[in-house]
Amino acid sequence: MTDQDTLLDAIQMHVPFDGWSDAALRAACEDTDTPLDTAHAMFPRGAVDMAFAYHKRGDRQMVEALEAMDLSTLKFREKVTAAVRKRIEVADKELVRRGMALFALPQHAADGSRALWETSGLIWDTLGDTSRDVNWYTKRATLSAVYSSTVLYWLGDDSEGHEATWAFLDRRIENVMQFEKVKGKLRSNALVDAFMKGPGRVLDNIRAPGEHRTGYPGRWSANR
């Protein structure tokens, strides 16, 4: 366990009372005999970076759990459902609640969006998604909406075993599947087909981020 992990473990008992704040960070430093300067060297923005680190830890735990599961017999929609559910199950509700309050602030909204997008991308990558065109973006955007709405529902859910949350998740996944069916029907529409062969061809040039373009949201690929 690294010093960062030790400090991250220590702050969790203070977050429900003080939020992801400097007060919680100072308390964690006192608990672990960590100088505050050392803590800021590990987490330059203090508790904000610690909240993001907690989210990233949850992502890693989700991946480990999924890799240990036998998903071979599941339909793809069931795999996505299992992944979203597992990501929620590895998290602490009060820590997530406090984190969402933090990332809802204007100055931290970009961090919240980044965390959400990375989680959605990690789910698709772990499940073996190979899309590199515009679908790379639409899949992650759609799953981000499903995941975020399910988390919000979960935060207010007091049903036994969070069964109401899992039922809500099933409904959201079903909504997505219905949308995909509509998209499939639209592709066979003559007007839509004409659009896609005309102005809509611009979508063919959109590509997923390339490794050599780190930090960019995507890549434009001119037709050859």
> Are 64 and 141 within one domain?
yes
Q: What is the predicted pLDDT for the residue at 221?
A: 54
Residue 7 CB partners (closer than 8 Å, separation 6+): 28, 29, 32, 34, 39, 42, 43, 50
Number of domains in the chain: 2
> Are 70 and 161 within one domain?
yes
> Are 65 and 174 within one domain?
yes
With CA atoms as reference, report the closest residue to 156 among 83, 76, 100, 117. 100
Count of other CB atoms within 10 angstroms of residue 176: 17
> Are 94 and 179 within one domain?
yes
Residue 94 inside a domain? The answer is yes
CA quadruple 95, 98, 102, 104: dihedral sign: positive
Total number of residues shown for the chain: 224
With CA atoms as reference, report the closest residue to 146 among 124, 176, 183, 119. 176
Q: Do the beta carbons of residue 12 and residue 54 sit within 8 Å?
A: yes
Task: Look up residue 112 and give its two tokens.
Answer: 């919240």
Residue 20 inside a domain? The answer is no
> Are 117 and 201 within one domain?
no
Q: Across the 224 residues of the chain, what is the mean pLDDT of every consecutive 10-residue run?
A: 94 97 97 97 96 98 97 94 98 98 96 96 94 88 96 98 98 83 58 53 64 48 50
Residue 220: DSSP 8-state: E
Range of the domain at 208: 190-224
> Are 155 and 221 within one domain?
no
> Are 133 and 73 within one domain?
yes
> Are 207 and 162 within one domain?
no
Q: What is the predicted pLDDT for the residue at 197?
A: 56
> Are 114 and 220 within one domain?
no
Count of other CB atoms within 10 angstroms of residue 19: 19
> Are 79 and 98 within one domain?
yes
> Are 71 and 114 within one domain?
yes
Q: What is the predicted pLDDT for the residue at 193?
A: 58
- 3-state SS of the chain: helix, strand, coil percent to 5? 75, 0, 25
Q: What is the pTM of this model?
A: 0.84
CA–CA separation, 183 vs 178, rounded Å? 9
Give, in order, the Cα–Cα distances in Å from 45 to each of 1, 3, 20, 21, 25. Answer: 22, 17, 11, 10, 11
CA–CA separation, 171 vs 177, rounded Å? 10
Q: What is the predicted pLDDT for the residue at 181?
A: 64
Q: What is the predicted pLDDT for the residue at 83?
A: 97
